[in-house]
Amino acid sequence: MGRTQAYDTATVVASARNLFWKRGFDGVSVSDVEKVTGLSRSSIYHAFGNMRGLFDAAVQDYLDTIVAPRIRPLLEPDVAPGALAGYLTGLAEAIGRLGDSDEPTGCLLVGTAGSTLGDDAAVRQVVGAYHAELLAAVTRGVAARFPDDDAESVAARATSITGATIAAMTLARVNRDEAVRLLDVTSAMIR
């Protein structure tokens, strides 16, 4: 008979997520995870199989708890005309606020794409799906804001805004003020 689990899996995954988000997969050791979660090495491996299993759980948690709530208003059946500006403003506020705390900033997936895991097929698929979902959400926001635009104009604006958003999430790690400025300028262009 196995022992009863004495930890909350969601709390462990969220702690590991923030560690991977700050340092990247390659910058996190099992000892680092032991320190932030309070779990032993054997408990980590028992629960997640290996560090990659924990990382995959952390990425799914990032998508579910960080990304999904932020883009939800852009995926509603009836997208409000101001939803896209709200998304960009909220993202700028988060980048500005998180940089002053011990919380990670930027984007876990964008950071991962530039790491050694960027060549991994499963990671590439997750990052590609994230980009497709973000582009689809931004496209819906552009269409709601500019209902008289033709499909080609909506697609062009959405591609540009999505690119600026990803650029800002990349820049947030090295120049938070410039990342916020980029999002503010992008948001002003659609108001």
> What tens digit of pLDDT does each residue of 7-23 get?
788 999 999 999 999 99
**Averaged pLDDT score across all residues of the chain:** 92
Residue 8, pLDDT score: 85
Q: Mark the ranges of the chain whose per-residue pLDDT is less than 50.
A: none
SS3 17: helix
Does the pTM of the predicted model rise above 0.75? yes
Residues 58, 64: Cα–Cα separation, whole Å: 10
Torsion sign (Cα): 87, 92, 93, 94: positive
Tokens 């800002």, residue?
Answer: 168
Given this model, what pLDDT does residue 97 score? 86
The two three-digit tokens of residue 23, written as one number? 């340092």
Q: How high is the pLDDT of residue 101?
A: 65
152 close to 90: Cβ distance less than 8 angstroms: no
pLDDT at 114: 87
